[in-house]
Amino acid sequence: MRGNSRFRSIDRRSYLKGCLVGVGSTLAFGGVASADHLEGEYSNVVDIVDAGADPTGSESITPVLREEVDDDTLIQFPEGRYAMDEQLRLTDFDNVGFVGYDATLVPANYYQFDGPQYRLFRLGTRAAPGRDLRFEGFEIDQTADETGIRVINAEVEDGLLVRDIVVDGVHDAGTWGPGLFNIVDPDGEGRVDCFKAPDGGVHVDATPNEGNMWKGPTGIHVNDYHVGTLIFENCELGGFPGNGLYGFTENGQIGIDGGHFENSGTASIRLSGSRGAIRNASITVDDNRDDAPGQHAIRIDDGDTFNVENVTIDAPKPNGEAIRVMSDVEDVTIEDTEVTVGEGGSSAIRLDSGSGTATFENVDVDIDGSAYAFRILGDDSGAVTLEDVSVTGDASGLPIRHSILCERDDVTFQGLSLEQTGSDERGGLYLSGDDYRIADSDLETANTSIAITGASDVTIEETVARSSESNSVHIYADSGAVSLEDNSFPDGVRDDR
């Protein structure tokens, strides 16, 4: 009989009510690094070498695993190298653990792997999930040619703990990426901690699986079967041709706390779902893959509520927006975040038309390329607030003149600091919607600091705007009501109405 998760030590309702507040810090699981301290949680403890597995890497251990794995069983791997040329498949299980500190798993290459060449461990399925799964402490040696494979495919109701997994070597077999994780019960929870595949993967067309997959592997995948809560802590992913960490779910919750992600196709982190959070992570785009026309650092596709906090994005070779919020996202908050974008045509932050409310607070954007620091699209979308936002950098203004493009109605700029003096073409705000408020802000640009074109109900107060080559403010002829109160515009206001 299945009882409460052995790994949980928090109250579920208070956690979910918190909407991923604190992300990984609130989801706690038992256990420590040494497997000796875990034996009391299982009625059966198996030393895989004592059971007959070869620790030298000469013979596959999968047959021994099949014989020994069972409910309420911990399988310990002593130090050694363990070859695998077949998948271990286990369904409908309860309280199973695999622990292998100082143990290395060595997959056979694509041609020598027997059966489905996609996974080492398939632990649970959507139709027959497991419960209380522990998988930790393994290095996976994929340094040999054409040995990339999914290490673990885990679908559980509740109580997933995966941690301290390091994949060494480029994923070059063209099969599924290193990890897939789903919590298939809406009340279930799981944590993936320190899952690392820093060497990334290659496009499927350069592998023996050419033509049988679109683009190639994704580093960590969460699919639409996920309906519970998953936290990823301190994970690390190199560049994968699919995505880096891809959470594609309609109803599940996904939190990312810490870690580093870089150079994946489509996005290094890509999320959808009912709620999501990315905190304390760093993302880099400094290698433009030939097989990836767009490489966003973060892309949020669709869902209800998302929070990005204390994230650092460094894109010296931008190949897609640093942060892109797609049209089906209802609410997003981005705070205490730094974005650096080098020369190129990619904007730093983009809100697509149709996306809902958005809040930016304490966000610093440094942009050297002639693109938008903020591109806010859609005149009938949700309200947007930029509070204590800073834009700096040496962008030239050719071909994109304005630093911030805003087509949307109901936008507030509070405490905006904007310094864009890279060339005489670079301007500041471009406003073309209705109902704007700019307050307590300081803008210094080469070209026009604030351009009001076709906009109405614009209030600018207690703001300083300086332009070295043009006017502080330009109000175009097709604009409506504009209120100017207690401002400093040393380079004048041009009003063409």
pLDDT tens for each residue of 292-317: 678 999 999 999 999 999 999 999 99
Residue 288 phi/psi, 5-degree rounding, is: -85, 105
At position 291, the amino acid (one-letter code) is D
Assess whether pLDDT exceeds 90 at residue 75: yes
Q: Which residue has the tokens 């205490």?
A: 336
Assess whether pLDDT exceeds 50 at residue 226: yes
Assess whether pLDDT exceeds 60 at residue 286: yes
Per-residue pLDDT, averaged over 114-135, amounts to 95
pLDDT digits (tens, 9 = 90+) for 149-179: 999 999 999 999 999 999 999 999 999 999 9
Cα–Cα dist 38/77, whole Å: 13
pLDDT of residue 22: 53
- Residues 467/448, Cβ–Cβ less than 8 Å: yes
pLDDT digits (tens, 9 = 90+) for 396-443: 998 889 999 999 999 999 999 999 998 889 999 999 999 999 999 999
Listed in sequence order, the residues at least 6 apart from 251 whose beta carbon sits closer than 8 Å to its beta carbon are 186, 227, 273, 274
Assess whether pLDDT exceeds 80 at residue 4: no
pLDDT of residue 32: 35
Assess whether pLDDT exceeds 90 at residue 235: yes
Per-residue pLDDT, averaged over 76-88, amounts to 97
- Least confident segment among 6-20, 215-229, 296-310, 352-366: 6-20
* Cis preceding linkage at 399, omega within 30: yes
pLDDT-based confidence at residue 36 (cuts at 50, 70, 90): low
Report the 10 Å Cβ neighbour count for 385: 17
pLDDT-based confidence at residue 101 (cuts at 50, 70, 90): confident
pLDDT digits (tens, 9 = 90+) for 447-462: 999 999 999 999 999 9
- Residues 212/204, Cβ–Cβ less than 8 Å: yes
Task: Determine which helix (DSSP H) or strand (DSSP E) holds 66, and give its type and residue range.
Answer: helix 62-68
Cα–Cα dist 306/14, whole Å: 18
Query: Nearest 5°: CA angle at 470, between 466 and 476?
Result: 105
Assess whether pLDDT exceeds 70 at residue 8: no
- Residues 389/363, Cβ–Cβ less than 8 Å: yes
pLDDT of residue 9: 35
| Chain center to CA of 142 | 24
Single pTM value for the model = 0.93
Q: Which residue has the tokens 């870690």?
A: 259
Q: Could you tell me which of 478, 481, 444 has the C-alpha nearest to residue 459?
A: 481
pLDDT of residue 291: 66
pLDDT digits (tens, 9 = 90+) for 366-401: 999 999 999 999 977 899 999 999 999 999 998 889
Report the 10 Å Cβ neighbour count for 396: 18
- Least confident segment among 15-24, 219-228, 373-382: 15-24
Per-residue pLDDT, averaged over 128-153, amounts to 97
Listed in sequence order, the residues at least 6 apart from 386 whose beta carbon sits closer than 8 Å to its beta carbon are 360, 363, 374, 411, 412, 413, 414, 416
pLDDT-based confidence at residue 115 (cuts at 50, 70, 90): confident
Mean pLDDT of the chain: 92
Distances (CA, A) of 455 to 125, 407, 413, 429, 431: 54, 9, 15, 12, 6
Cα–Cα dist 105/139, whole Å: 6
Listed in sequence order, the residues at least 6 apart from 449 whose beta carbon sits closer than 8 Å to its beta carbon are 418, 427, 428, 429, 443, 465, 466, 467, 471, 472, 473, 491
Radius of gyration of the chain (CA): 26
